[in-house]
Amino acid sequence: MHSLITFLGRGRYSEATGYRTASYAFPGGSIRVSPFFGLELAKELMPDRLVILGTSGSMWSVLVEHLADQGDNRRENERLELLEAESHHRVSEEQLAPLTALAQEATGMDVELRLIPEARDDREQMRILQGIAESIPRGRVDLDLTHGFRHLGMLGFLSAYFLEALRSIQVNHLWYGALDMTPSDGPDQGMTPVLQLDGLDGVHRWIEALTRFDASGDYGVFGPLLARDGLPSDKARALAEAHFHQTTLNIPAARQRLQTVLKELEETELSGASALFREKLIERLSWARSDNLGNNQRALALRALRRRDYPRAAIFGFEAFLTSLCIEQGETPTNYKAREQIRDAFSKRVNKEEPDWKRDAWHLLRELRNAMAHGTPPRNSKVRQIMHDRERLQRELEAAINRLNNT
């Protein structure tokens, strides 16, 4: 189901000219003249459902006048009653109920007229968001942010993402009839441009994606945004593949996928919000530029630690040290059998041959890794105490990772 949400504003009335109209110039080239942009947008988009939101002082009478047949005295009486009520901010749900059939007959679509508060405080703002969610149970939605109080436009912008999160609804476009941008001269004189605010939508989605990545480490959140803005689809998919390999601890495969993405990011001219956030993304992928597995693992350990993913931080930190031991002894770090032998040999000699700082860091990191990987309490009482103190765990784990990996 495709829905359109629009706000009904107050309007400006003149005894000489009536309510102000505008000639709205849509992106496709059509021009529609009306005092109410939302109705013209509905004719342009032809949604299945139109939801009109307005306060008790919105120009509901103008809506009746715009929709009703000329000479319909019954509708004229309703319009006058609404005009009196809206002038005192007293329009009621009972007065709006009979207008629903009129709106549906005039537009040829399912219409809901809904009263909303003026969003004066957080309680009223939450009521508006809840009302919008109740009006759009499923499908996809366009939002018109043109009319109503200015702060309602901000609330409408927020409601788009509220709907996506609460109802899993797809937001198509955000629309704005830019009356203040109407030229007073030139070839487009008197034409009010209709804007799609997809640029703002893109910025919001990038900020959201960066936040999600910093919390989860999932590169895949960037794929759809980059694909929309010009990154080849196979490179966008490579981000999700890199995350898969990283979560299964296959760091060479993850690094290889990210290296192809980094190369493409440097060579492809991206459009939209992706161009603004390119450098921020490159920063987050930069660990993959190094072909040193130990450096990769240490970098990923510290990143996991920053997002308080302690099990993964301990695993990557411990594996980074084992990788360095393999390289020191001329063994291939990805050779499982050799890696196990080197680990066991170091474990036997660490208490006798290594300095205290290395011995303590080794035992702490190994016990933390095993305890969190297996979900069992550490045997060492000191390690048990560390695991019961979040700030201490953060501090001790970071120190152990850095000490073992020579930083």
Q: What are the residues facing 31 on neighbouring strands?
A: 25
Residue 288 carries which side chain, given as an amino acid letter? Answer: A
Q: Identify any residues that bridge with 33 across adjacent strands, giving them in sequence order.
A: 23
pLDDT digits 0-9 by tens, 191-211: 999 998 878 788 888 998 999
Residue 341 pLDDT: 93
3-state secondary structure of 15: coil
| Sheet (strand 140-144) strand order | 31-34, 22-25, 191-196, 170-177, 140-144, 2-8, 49-54, 110-115
* pTM exceeds 0.75, yes or no: no
- Residue-level pLDDT at 148: 56
8 A C-beta contact, residue 34 and residue 65: no
Pick from 286, 285, 310, 313: nearest CA to 301: 313
Q: What is the pLDDT of residue 276?
A: 92
The parts of the chain modelled with pLDDT lower than 70 are 11-19, 69-75, 148-154, 156, 407
